[in-house]
Amino acid sequence: MKPRIDRGLSTLNILIVKLSSLGDVVHAMPAVQDLLARVPGAQVDWVVERGFAPLVERCQGVRAVIPCDLRRWSRSPLAATTRSEWRTFRRALRERRYDAVLDLQGLTKSALVARAARIAEGGKRYALANRTDGAGYEAPTRWVADVAVTVVPRTDAVERSRRLCAAALGYDIPPAMHYGLRAVASPPQGGRPCIAFVHGTSREDKCWPVASWIALGRRLLAQGFDVCLPHGNDAERARGEAIAAALGPAAHVWPRLDLGALTDRLAGCAGVIGVDSGLSHIAVALDLAHVQIYNFDTAWRTGPAAPRQRSVFASPTPSLDMVWHAWEQVRAAA
């Protein structure tokens, strides 16, 4: 199918609005790769929360990352600092006129950003027309859009963005999926191949028991692996230190890193085992050997599906043996 926007070799300015959270940002990357492959002359800019900007800067083909601080601004919307920073952000957002603005978030805050962007002559704003199962959605995204795209409700997180972009710009989705996430692999800290444990997540009810992490770590150490423990806050650091203390010197608690450096660290690992977390989704994007642990039946929407990656679900939580069996399957496919 010929794309709806096609100016031959001339530049097409396209703005992606996907602000947060970490997993959602990763899930939007394949849509960008589709768009670049299918729309001649496309130049893609991306608006994202500042904390996730180092990751988006590593997404192949993104020309400019426009960081914002909507989460922080929302806590003090009338403050002089907020108003000043919003004006600075709005100027950066409006430096270019866009032929297409694609709101892949579907929330009021993303609609606000889409509305603030400048549209080129003949350009349009596109957004979701409906909620998809298990995803957030707010009506203003549809009201702001010039074109609202209907997506089948039972659509996973990656496919939702891919289908919206394809329908908006009028191309067929490529058969192969690529994230385009670039990394420079850091060597393992202890010299031996390392398996990263993504033990932290935004919700406590998504976590896996510390005793299970320790038992899993002992099995991996017996196979000649080290264990690496990233963290993003003090509570996660404390959990990582408890796991490392039980496993001994072959377990390494990483320092707190920005997302760019953390992506490089993960890329140097022999594999990742993690809960439903943004870092686990980065492991998927890097095509690492990976097992993702789910306490809720949501793996169909956000879990990996590649041969080198497996999702494990059980309630209240998967057993050690379930996770270990999935890891052995992943290792065999690597």
Bridge partner residues of 130 (DSSP): none
Q: What is residue 189's predicted lDDT score, i.e. its pLDDT?
A: 77
Residue 43 has pLDDT above 60, yes or no: yes
pLDDT band with cut points at 50, 70 and 90 for residue 7: low
- pLDDT at residue 305, rounded to an integer: 78
Mean pLDDT of 184-207: 91
Rounded distance between C-alpha atoms, residue 164 and residue 148, angstroms: 9
Encoded tokens for 213: 């992490």
> Six-digit token pair at 35?
């768009």
Q: How confident is the model at residue 8 (pLDDT cuts 50, 70, 90)?
A: low
What's the gap between Cα 258 and its chain centre? 14
- Are 310 and 332 a contacting pair, CB within 8 Å? no
Which residue segments constitute the domains of the chain, with CATH numbers given?
12-169 (3.40.50.2000), 194-333 (3.40.50.2000)
- Please state, in angstroms and as integers, the Cα–Cα distance from residue 137 to each residue in 51, 106, 116, 161, following that order: 22, 5, 19, 13
pLDDT (tens digit, 9 = 90+) per residue, 125-140? 999 999 999 999 999 9
Q: Which pLDDT value is given to residue 205?
A: 94
Q: Which has the closest alpha carbon to 199: 212, 190, 187?
A: 212
**85 Cα distance to chain centroid:** 25
Predicted local confidence at residue 4, as pLDDT: 66
pTM: 0.94
Q: What is the pLDDT of residues 54-96, one digit of tens each?
A: 999 999 999 999 999 999 999 999 999 999 999 999 999 999 9
Largest CA distance in the chain: 63
CA distance 193 to 269: 7
Q: Residue range 189-198: average pLDDT?
A: 90
Q: Which amino acid is at 176?
A: A
Q: Cα–Cα–Cα angle for 233, 239, 240, nearest 5°?
A: 85
Rounded to whole angstroms, how far apart are CA atoms 151 and 159? Answer: 9
pLDDT digits 0-9 by tens, 219-263: 999 999 999 999 999 999 999 999 999 999 999 999 999 999 999
